[in-house]
A and B are shown apart, each in its own frame.
Chain A
Amino acid sequence: MKILTCPLNGPRPVSEFFYWGEVRPMPDPAAASDDEWADYVFNRNGAPGVKREWWCHTPSNTWFIAERDTEKDLVLKTYFYPGEE
């Protein structure tokens, strides 16, 4: 069983969580070029490596960030998005 540690609820099986994708800062729609905007909307980075990802502990609806090495399948750390705790 894979275990993920929620910053609020502690270690729980990964079945209690869902994944909401990599943290991707949105470019300013008014200032971004069409190429930059299209890249933000349509493209995702699938290269293995350390990713900052959104995860949610579903029973408590607690959203947080997990830094995960997708190459080694290791969770390095989990924490609240700054300002959310």
Chain B
Amino acid sequence: MISALAVSPVAEIATLLAPADQPAAVARLGLADVSLTARHGCKGPGTVAWLQGLGLPIPPQPNSWLPLDGGGRIARLGFTEFLIEGPDALIAPLVSAPRAAGVYPVLRQDAALILGGARLDELLRQTCNVNFRPLELAARPVVLTSMVGVGVTVIPELRNGQPAVRIWCDGTYGHYLWETLLGIAVELGGGAVAPHSFN
């Protein structure tokens, strides 16, 4: 299934800060749009064997993820559903590979965001019911929860030594989620930045 997006769900409203202002904003709380990253979703009882046959590692536990060679990651959402995201060279063969029995495509035209900075926890406390701070990042957790009323998939991580989260949600909620998160981020001294600002 073609999951690639030609235009980000938040393209019309994602006005970034001036490049000179972005490093300071990222240190406090930056929000970046990475919706155009290639990804593939699949689910079903045959999915684990199919992905293994394609040479991908399988996260052993539901709600965990593993890094992929060449960049990208594979996240296990529940028992038999997976989200794979990474460079086009990694995702394109997955999309074009013949599916096996019991493997069903999942449309992943998500709004995908990076949110991170020293004041991340202050934003999460206003928008989400999960306390991410006690999570052990070494265990590579994936959290499926609700954020300002939107069902989201979240991976907590560290970027430049600062707490950050990767967020995926249904693309049709992207506009609302971006506006809401950005409004709070601006109140906290942050703003919209380019994804490479987090590197």
Contact of A60 with B144 at beta-carbon distance under 8 Å, contacts A8-B62, A12-B129 already known: yes
Contact of A16 with B145 at beta-carbon distance under 8 Å, contacts A58-B151, A59-B151, A60-B77 already known: yes
A62 within 8 A of B: yes
Name the one of B63, B79, B152 contacting A9, with C-beta atoms under 8 angstroms.
B63
Q: Closest residue to B143 on the A side, CB-wise? A: A9
List residues 161-199 of chain B with CB under 8 A from any CB of chain A.
Answer: none
Interface string of B64-104 (1 = CB under 8 A from A): 00000000000001110000000000000000000000000
Name the one of B78, B145, B151, B153 contacting A8, with C-beta atoms under 8 angstroms.
B78
Complexed CA–CA distance, A8 and B143 (Å): 11
Contact of A85 with B144 at beta-carbon distance under 8 Å, contacts A13-B129, A59-B151 already known: no
Q: B residues within 8 A CB of A70?
A: none
Consensus secondary structure, chain A interface: loop
> B87: shortest Cβ distance to chain A, in Å?
27
Consensus secondary structure, chain B interface: strand
A15 within 8 A of B: yes
B3 within 8 A of A: no
Does A85 contact B129, Cβ atoms closer than 8 Å? no
Complexed CA–CA distance, A85 and B79 (Å): 8
Does B62 contact A12, Cβ atoms closer than 8 Å? no
Q: Closest residue to B129 on the A side, CB-wise? A: A13
Does B146 contact A15, Cβ atoms closer than 8 Å? yes
A-B contact pairs, 14 of them (CB 8 A): A1-B129, A8-B78, A9-B63, A12-B129, A12-B145, A15-B146, A16-B146, A57-B144, A59-B144, A60-B78, A60-B144, A60-B151, A61-B78, A85-B79
Interface residues of A (CB under 8 A from B): 1, 8-9, 12-13, 15-16, 57-62, 85
Interface residues of B (CB under 8 A from A): 62-63, 77-79, 129-130, 143-146, 151-153
